[in-house]
Amino acid sequence: MLELLTVISLTIVGAIVPGPDFAVVLRNSLVGGRLAGIMTALGIGLALAVHVTYALAGIGLLVSQSIFLFNALKLIGAAYLVFLGVTMFRGAAREMPAEAGNGGMSPLKALRWGFLTNVTNPKATMFAMSVFLQVTSPETPLWTQIGYGVIMASGVFIWFVLVTVFFTLAPVRQSFMRMKLWMERTFGILLTLFGIGIPATTSSSRP
């Protein structure tokens, strides 16, 4: 029970802290509509399931102990976030349709954005691995660890669905439309800064 409560608590904290995932879900929800936001959230949940698989298979431990693999993953994630940031900034001036859901973002594209944003983030890999290393013990059954992974992935998915539902409410979206240009540019700058900051913040904390 203590392990379960710890996993739930860590998942909640990890989900609500603003980061690249939040920025992408928020942007896609406001621009592409509720379905785009939900599919982005699903992509993030699936990516977290990949990180959980790494942790269960011991691959996360291998990555954490290899300078080359860790740095390679770190740079790939940073480059992708910078790419997303530049894409958002450059597309900020595009006109947004009056009705949500007509933003030109297909569900598959939204899913891909969410998945790639999370799966290339080395901090997400280290988060999933640290949860299992810190919370579980050698006596914890495999099926229990898998259950923890399901809780983590589904919890993050549910949180971002709630974020999507809120920010696609008509009054919220209308407020966004009045300041779309600067908000999208802000999202783009934030994602670019996240990408630039990943190598700097993780190089000094390599396990």
Tell me the C-alpha distance between 30 and 32, whole Å.
6
Tell me the C-alpha distance between 205 and 137, whole Å.
24
Reported confidence tier of residue 8, pLDDT bands at 50, 70, 90 = confident
pLDDT tens for each residue of 30-51: 878 899 999 999 999 999 999 8
Average pLDDT of 158-167?
A: 92
pLDDT tens for each residue of 66-124: 777 767 766 776 777 788 778 777 766 665 555 544 456 789 999 999 999 898 877 77
Binning the chain into helix, strand and coil, the percentages to the nearest 5 are 80, 0, 20
Reported confidence tier of residue 161, pLDDT bands at 50, 70, 90 = very high
Q: Which of 194, 4, 34 is nearest to 42 (CA)?
A: 34
In the predicted model, is pLDDT for residue 126 greater than 80?
no
What are the distances in angstroms from CA 207 to CA 28, 129, 131, 203?
34, 11, 14, 10
pTM score of the predicted model: 0.72
- The predicted structure's pLDDT at residue 205: 46
Tell me the C-alpha distance between 86 and 126, whole Å.
26
pLDDT tens for each residue of 163-198: 999 988 888 777 766 666 677 777 778 767 776 775
In the predicted model, is pLDDT for residue 204 greater than 50?
no
